[in-house]
A and B are shown apart, each in its own frame.
Chain A
């Protein structure tokens, strides 16, 4: 009698503790849905097609991840500034949102190894005659608030001690302001710059050269303490490159030389 009570108690305790140990990876698999935060005004990484469906590199990447996990993907549109609130309030599981892996941000969220790398380019209004990064000194420049390039460009404007920096909330607003002549130039990822100039929606602007910022490595992110999930994501990124899927997606959405995700001379 006594032993059976004890045994039952132990069983109940194990069941309870194993419940409590279910981590986010378990939760995602159990729920059958992977909810990804994706920025959808950031072509070619994320945008909408003519019938309003989300498309882009990040969208495909999320779908691949969901397939690997054996669940269905749900794309949750999040503008750049809302990526973290969306994660913290539990509206999304993973950010597939071209997020630069700065040390400052890593204090708040858990970053994976890089899954994509951006080169920065200068796009200018044709009337300004800006032909290079240095020409931007003393001009009115802007970028999308909350991005790596916005932070770097603002710092640069302060160092120059001349000109003005304006952050806009969306990439589309930046190019609209640039096309109207409210901005003289902008720095954005070269892939995004090419894609936006190509749409023809923003007349009178062109990509004029590279910006001498460091390569912008971007990572997937999730809650900082979810090591199980972060481990899985790291392996997933590794496998995407190994299996050639990364090259395939790069060719599909961007084209040209595939950027290396490895940093020379150091382990991660």
Chain B
């Protein structure tokens, strides 16, 4: 029933355009990870602080970010906030949506990583005359980041793949957006989507490998 002749030469002409899109995809994913990581550290501190308001805020963030679809989060960042007169461009809405999601998941990663570090480490630091903040910053956090690093690369891959949801909020410069547009113009659905899938795969794979090399160099005992 599947009768379709592939026009690869025509589709491959659009490859430079798609690679430009891939750069935008990578850019959004990286930015969303940096922002997400910063927020996740803050959320982790909030939960450690013992302050009920801050702790509650962090828990609520993590709950919503982890238990609702990313599509919903991105859609809300664009159309939801738009309803209240806050207008984020598709790029920013996508970035905010993914960063929100990243922060939730990374905060959970960090919580798990913290559990892996014996409390005696903090006490040892304190007994050396460090303040509790110093002990966290100089002793616990480096170890926490080390334990959480590889799980965090998972989130990075996830972030790259989530950028494809940007088409729902009018994003047309990332890889998925460019692909959709090429498809609309020529109807060569299968060629363009296949090329896009390969590019996504290569990016995700490259990120995982790079992270592994980085981890092997950075975290030597």
A residues adjacent to B (C-beta < 8 A): 80-81, 84-85, 88-90, 102, 104-105, 107-109, 142, 145-147, 150-151, 154, 164-169, 173, 176-177, 180-182, 223, 225
Contacts and interface: CB of A to CB of B under 8 A. Distances in A.
Nearest to A176: B79
Nearest to B75: A173
Contact of A173 (B79, B172, B186, B187): B79
Contacts of A151: 184-185
Main secondary structure on A side of the interface with B? mixed
Contact of B186 (A85, A105, A167, A181): A105
Interface residues of B, number: 31
Contact of A88 (B2, B87, B89): B2
A165 to B, nearest CB: 7
B183 A180 contact: no
A73 B137 CA distance: 68
B21 to A, nearest CB: 13
B83 A180 contact: yes
A108 B186 contact: yes
Contact of A177 (B3, B79, B167): B79
A109 B189 CA distance: 11
Interface of B: 1-4, 7, 10, 78-79, 82-83, 85, 87, 89-90, 167-172, 177, 180-181, 183-190
Contact of B170 (A84, A90, A142, A223): A142
Of A102, A108, A151, chain B has the most CB atoms within 10 Å of the CB of A108
A104 B14 CA distance: 14
Contact of B180 (A90, A108, A145, A182): A145
Contacts of B167: 145, 167, 169
B85 A181 contact: yes
Nearest to B82: A180
Contacts of B89: 164
Contacts of A168: 168-170
A73 B168 CA distance: 31
Contacts of A169: 167-168
Contact of B184 (A89, A90, A150): A150
